[in-house]
């Protein structure tokens, strides 16, 4: 139903493209959520056949942009997993999508949507593995799909009837594409091979071999005589369709190639890859014409506009960039897309939210409006943890680059860089008085720092594996730590003495959190699917809360009455459950489940007034949930 509503929004915006442009943070929200910060990651981009829309498929659904203004006009949501592939039908009236998880209760399914009527038309099932790629035939009558079950399937796009299974690949099929005349289908595989199939008979010609790794993207030239294939081996290869012979090998990307696309006139080929660039090639000579730079992450998709004047590129850096296809000049950048969120933290006044991200940045959001206020850059690795100082003036961030950075919130400037850890910094936490910062690391140690001078004060040892969670007690006298060694520890924050070692978890301890009065500690054991409550005075186990999946990120509400935790992963259920659970912190009774993220939830945090809960996910977004009236 949610997807139908958002498709109707799409139809309305055909007449008024800017009407919802400022409110996209509230589009397609799951029940109970009041805002979404970030648009999720980018997997694929396509222009509509008439060139009036640009569709961006990613981790939370499909975003639609009006190409006249490049404003957001619609979002197609409701998927329980990220979109792996999508395509417009030749007439632009139907959209096909493949999702990374279940939709309407169907796994490994393909979905057809009537864009004009705003209705879900059909669900096509049959694949026994994840569907990685979908493509319409030029006449719109047939649909092809490539899957992790190593097969290609052909479907009647009108009736939804399955017409043929094409077998022969010995690895996942990552890309499928019809020739312009619709008589040939090309498919690229994990084994580095490309196969050409006769669409009528289902027979295939000799295998196109030469790549040494996954063939992630394929594209026919407009005249159908040449096929381009992009591979994880860092090359683009051009093949003669009539003979099946290899014509040219294009090199220079210096990393995997994730997207290839011919210009509408067939004279140019664009490719994007891991080295963060787009390369423009002379499609006839195979010579590089130009290199487009500006992206700061892997380029996953490239697409020419139907008139050939604009090239769009989508990247892991969370941006879509628009380029003049003739001059290579950068025209515009569409922002807001975001990659994996590892950590979230509210400022003490509740007005700001910080998120630590896989893309090596810290983002500061207005917690009321959802507006992105500032992006803090400087880390050379993903940001695993963020924490505000008690006065709200400083933010600490811990990173995979083995450093901790202190930032001035008012200016966004970097204040101090704390070093000495010998592994990634997975957790940071301020003491209640703000004078001390604790950091936990992959090097199995906890380090205490003077926040004024930035000097290292003390190192706490005892854990035998990664220390990935830390929390000071409300009075600042104790420090709790959680580790991959399956234990949690309580330390005297002044002397550094280990008071208690808490054992019982059957897997790594993902999170530790004190209740507001400091007499209870919650520990979340990742794959054992439990949250355990402990008496901090005696170190004794009090209660166990059981999840349907992996547990993590425990957090008490400010009044201490509610405990939030996240779950995800196939542990006690066949389908991955990406949810936030609310528990009665006194009785242990389960109160509420919040669902809507399409990938693993990594962090949860209560606002200071306890009325809002933030959850950050690997789907690249932060959801804000309204808990009380």
CB of 282 closer than 8 Å to CB of 248: no
List the one residue out of 367, 391, 397, 426 whose CA is nearest residue 613: 367
Q: Are 219 and 194 in contact (CB under 8 A)?
A: no
The 3-state DSSP class for residue 38 equals: coil
Tens digit of pLDDT for each residue in 429-476?
A: 999 999 999 999 999 999 999 999 999 999 999 999 999 999 999 999
pLDDT band at 84 (very low <50, low <70, confident <90, very high): confident
Are the CB atoms for 344 and 604 separated by under 8 Å?
yes
For residue 198, pLDDT beyond 90: yes
Predicted confidence (pLDDT) at residue 2 exceeds the cutoff of 60: no
- pLDDT tens digit sequence for 543-588: 999 987 788 999 999 999 999 999 875 433 444 468 999 999 999 9
Total-model pTM: 0.85
More confident residue, 242 or 108: 242
User: Tokens standing for 286?
Assistant: 């195979």
What value does the mean pLDDT take over residues 241-269?
Answer: 94
Six token digits for residue 255 = 């990393």
pLDDT at 7 over 50: no
500 pLDDT exceeds 90? yes
CA distance 69 to 17: 8
Listed residue (607, 609, 608, 578) closest to 594, CA to CA: 578
For the cut 90, the answer to whether the pLDDT of residue 254 exceeds it is: no
State the pLDDT at residue 572.
Answer: 36
How far from 562 is each of 414, 461, 518, 559, CA to CA, in Å?
A: 35, 32, 14, 8
- The closest of 447, 390, 461, 445 to 418, measured between CA atoms, is 447
Assign 354 a pLDDT band (cuts: 50, 70, 90).
Answer: very high
* pLDDT for the residue numbered 468: 95
Cβ neighbours of residue 520 closer than 8 Å, sequence gap 6 or more: 514, 533, 534, 535, 536, 542, 585
Do residues 123 and 106 touch, judged by C-beta distance below 8 A? yes
Give 208's DSSP letter: B
How would you class 358 by CB atoms within 10 Å of its CB: exposed for 0-12, middle for 13-18, buried for 19 or more?
Answer: buried
Task: Give, as one character, the DSSP assignment of residue 15.
Answer: T
Asked if 426 contacts 399 with a C-beta cutoff of 8 angstroms, the reply is: no
Residue 573: predicted pLDDT: 40
Q: What is the pLDDT of residue 119?
A: 66
């Amino acid at each position: 139903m949610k997807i139908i509503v958002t498709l109707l929004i799409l139809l309305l915006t055909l007449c008024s493209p800017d009407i919802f442009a400022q409110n996209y943070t509230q589009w397609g929200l799951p029940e109970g959520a009041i805002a979404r910060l970030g648009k999720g990651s980018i997997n694929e981009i396509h222009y509509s056949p008439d060139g009036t829309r640009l569709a961006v498929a990613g981790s939370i659904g499909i975003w639609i942009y009006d190409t006249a203004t490049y404003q957001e006009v619609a979002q197609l949501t409701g998927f329980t997993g990220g979109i792996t592939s999508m395509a417009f039908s030749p007439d632009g009236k139907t959209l096909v999508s493949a999702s990374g998880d279940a939709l309407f209760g169907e796994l490994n399914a393909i979905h057809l949507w009537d864009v004009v009527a705003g209705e879900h038309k059909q669900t096509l099932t049959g694949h026994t593995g994840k569907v990685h790629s979908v493509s319409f035939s030029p006449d719109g009558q047939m649909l092809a799909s490539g899957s992790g079950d190593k097969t290609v399937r052909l479907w009647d796009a009108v009736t939804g009837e399955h017409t043929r299974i094409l077998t022969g690949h010995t690895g996942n099929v990552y890309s499928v594409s019809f020739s312009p005349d619709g008589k040939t289908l090309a498919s690229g595989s994990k084994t580095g091979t490309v196969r050409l199939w006769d669409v009528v008979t289902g027979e295939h010609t000799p295998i196109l071999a030469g790549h040494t790794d996954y063939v992630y993207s394929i594209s026919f030239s407009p005249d159908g005589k040449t096929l381009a294939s992009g591979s994880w081996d860092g090359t683009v290869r051009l093949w003669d369709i009539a003979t099946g012979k290899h014509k040219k090998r294009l090199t220079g990307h210096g990393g995997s190639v994730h997207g290839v696309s011919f210009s509408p006139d067939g004279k140019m080929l664009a490719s994007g890859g891991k080295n963060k660039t787009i390369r423009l090639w002379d499609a006839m000579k195979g010579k590089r014409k130009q290199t487009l730079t500006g992206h700061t992450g892997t380029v996953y998709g490239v697409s020419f506009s139907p008139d050939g004047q604009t090239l769009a590129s989508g990247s892991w850096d969370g941006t879509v960039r628009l380029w003049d296809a003739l001059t290579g000049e950068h025209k515009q950048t569409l922002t807001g897309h975001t990659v994996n969120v590892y950590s979230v933290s509210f400022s003490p006044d509740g007005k700001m939210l910080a998120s630590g991200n896989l893309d090596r940045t810290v983002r500061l959001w207005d917690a009321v409006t959802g507006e992105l206020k500032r992006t803090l850059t400087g880390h050379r690795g993903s940001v695993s943890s963020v924490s505000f100082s008690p006065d709200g003036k400083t933010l600490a961030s811990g990173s995979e680059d083995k450093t901790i950075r202190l930032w001035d919130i008012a200016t966004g400037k970097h204040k101090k860089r704390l070093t000495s850890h010998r592994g990634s910094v997975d957790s940071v936490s301020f003491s209640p008085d703000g004078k001390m910062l604790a950091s936990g690391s992959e090097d199995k140690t906890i380090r205490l720092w003077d926040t004024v001078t930035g000097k290292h004060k003390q190192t706490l040892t005892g854990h035998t594996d990664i220390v990935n969670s830390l929390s000071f007690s409300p009075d600042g006298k104790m420090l709790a730590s959680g580790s991959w060694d399956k234990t949690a520890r309580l330390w005297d924050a002044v002397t550094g003495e280990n008071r208690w070692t808490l054992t019982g978890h059957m897997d790594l301890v993902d999170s530790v959190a004190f209740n507001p009065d400091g007499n209870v500690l919650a520990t979340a054991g990742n794959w054992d699917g439990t949250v355990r409550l402990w008496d901090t005075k005696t170190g004794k186990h009090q209660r166990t809360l059981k999840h349907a999946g992996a547990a993590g990120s425990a957090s008490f509400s400010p009044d201490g009455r509610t405990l939030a935790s996240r779950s995800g992963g196939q542990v006690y259920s066949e389908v991955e459950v990406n949810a936030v659970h609310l528990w009665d912190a006194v009785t242990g009774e389960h109160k509420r489940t919040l669902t809507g993220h399409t990938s693993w939830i990594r962090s949860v945090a209560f606002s200071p007034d306890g009325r809002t809960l933030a959850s950050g996910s690997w789907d690249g977004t932060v959801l804000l949930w309204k808990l009380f009236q």
